[in-house]
Amino acid sequence: MVVIGEHRHTQVHVDLQAIKHNIDEEMTRKDPLTELWAVVKANGYGHGIVPVAQAAKQAGATGFCVAILDEALALRRAGLTEPILVLGIVEPEYAALIAEQHISVAVGSQAWLDDAAAVLTANKVTAPLAVHLALDTGMGRIGFQTPADLSVAVQTLRQPNSPFDFEGIFTHFATADQADDTYFMHQIHQWQALIAVVDDLPRYVHVSNSATSLWHQACNGNLIRFGVALYGLNPSGTELTAPYHLQPALSLTAALTFVKPLAKGQSVSYGATYTAQQDEWVGTVPIGYADGYERRLQGFHVLIDGQFCEIVGRICMDQLMVRLPKQLPVGTKVTLVGTDGDQTISLQDVADYCGTIHYEIACGLATRVPRVYTDVAAGLTE
């Protein structure tokens, strides 16, 4: 892949040791017979799909979850041979490719099974296609909703000479990260009613994302889909406290490219929305909304020389401006996410200011911002 942005001092730093720490914590806490699969969809939540997957494997993850087929194929091309589950619906026309690459897929309808079977037969595929039946217990996204429909699908998978491997069954909780567990319990009851029609459960029975495993551990089944907590981010935001320390893996830095005095009455950026009330110093930082640093972060702050510095004026596509405490040299480090001195800006802080969740901020960081990986224990910096 062509790297665009390597000659600009704007970087996402990913601490792979933090990834391993978070997995270690979960591995220690979970049942020894329960597997942990690392969720590395959306380019590893913005952290980088392949390096994160490799670090997760080293820490004990025995499989991976992704959202789309191409993410699974990227892991296969990187030489990862562990089980991979695509959590989203893949068009059945790709059934032969999926089976040949030994990738597992989520299935939520009988029609999908019928269409995929036809494709497998037409292509004379001998390798079985591994299927995880998705049950919609209240998420309202994908999956079987009634015991009758589920029962027909199970019968299809277990027919003699079936082209499928009934590998798993799962659901996803909508409110596992909330203090009020009313809807969570509703989904539990729906799950129980659905799986009651499956006499012989498949190898993998899983309901736990990060939030479920953190706060509803008894529901884990025999597989945890370890997602946002893998990256050291609390899936509940600030509502619930995690049972162990989650170590954030991501930081975002840049460097001042231009420093100038701004006289009282002068304005900054598009729309002239900021006007200096006194003489001050302003610095330009080479990052903007095209890099995933949201335009709505005007008025927020960055860290420079251990001090909070306000973002002044509208954030541009490729640059933003900050008010400096004094004249600072070009090249001075700017921390947009992370720690500088005694101060820290977290992804949660950025998300709170934007009125969103940290998932969106992390996933939105553009690929033109290079990812730099460190693993102190392994002596890696790249």
Angle subtended at Cα 357 by Cα 356 and Cα 360, rounded to the nearest 5 degrees = 95
Q: Considering 231, 264, 270, 326, which one is annotated as catalytic?
A: 270
In terms of DSSP H, where are the helices of 294-377?
A: 347-354, 358-363
- Helices H, strands E: what count in the chain? 11, 21
In terms of DSSP H, where are the helices of the chain?
A: 16-29, 41-45, 49-59, 69-77, 95-100, 110-122, 147-157, 182-195, 210-215, 347-354, 358-363
Active site residue 41: yes
pLDDT of residue 338: 98
Binding site membership for substrate: which residues?
141, 317
211 and 314 share one domain: no
For residue range 280-333, list pLDDT tens digits in order: 999 999 999 999 999 999 999 999 999 999 999 999 999 999 999 999 999 999
pLDDT of residue 295: 97
For residue range 113-141, list pLDDT tens digits in order: 999 999 999 999 999 999 999 999 999 99
Structure-token pair, residue 292? 């995933």
Q: Read off the CATH number of the domain in which 215 is found.
A: 3.20.20.10
Amino acid at 96: A
DSSP annotation string for 178-200: SS--HHHHHHHHHHHHHHTT-SS
Q: Read off the CATH number of the domain in which 305 is found.
A: 2.40.37.10
Domain interval for residue 56: 16-231
Q: Is residue 239 part of a domain?
A: no
pLDDT of residue 210: 98
- Of all residues in the chain, what percent carry a pLDDT higher than 90? 97
DSSP annotation string for 134-174: EB-SSS-SSSB-SHHHHHHHHHHHTSTT-SEEEEEEE---S
- What are the Cα distances from residue 240, in Å, to 23, 30, 157, 233, 260? 19, 19, 40, 12, 44
Q: Is residue 317 part of a domain?
A: yes
165 and 257 share one domain: no
Binding site membership: which residues?
141, 317
How many whole angstroms separate alpha carbon 373 and alpha carbon 147?
47
pLDDT of residue 379: 62
Q: Considering 41, 231, 289, 359, which one is annotated as catalytic?
A: 41
200 and 267 share one domain: no
- The whole-number average pLDDT for the span 28-34 is 95
- The whole-number average pLDDT for the span 20-47 is 97
Q: What residues pair up with 164 in beta bridges, in sequence order?
A: 129
Widest Cα–Cα separation across the chain: 82
**Do residues 62 and 37 make contact, with C-beta atoms less than 8 angstroms apart?**
yes
pLDDT of residue 377: 64
Global confidence as pTM: 0.95
Q: Is residue 206 part of a domain?
A: yes
**Do residues 49 and 43 make contact, with C-beta atoms less than 8 angstroms apart?**
yes
- What are the Cα distances from residue 287, in Å, to 257, 272, 351? 10, 19, 17
76 and 168 share one domain: yes
Q: Phi/psi zone of residue 171: left (φ > 0), alpha (ψ -120 to 50 degrees), beta?
A: beta
Domain count, the chain: 2
Active site residue 293: no
207 and 71 share one domain: yes
Residue 235 CA, chain-centre distance (Å), reads 11
- Contacts by 307-310 with C-beta closer than 8 Å and gap 24+? 307/341, 307/343, 308/343, 309/283
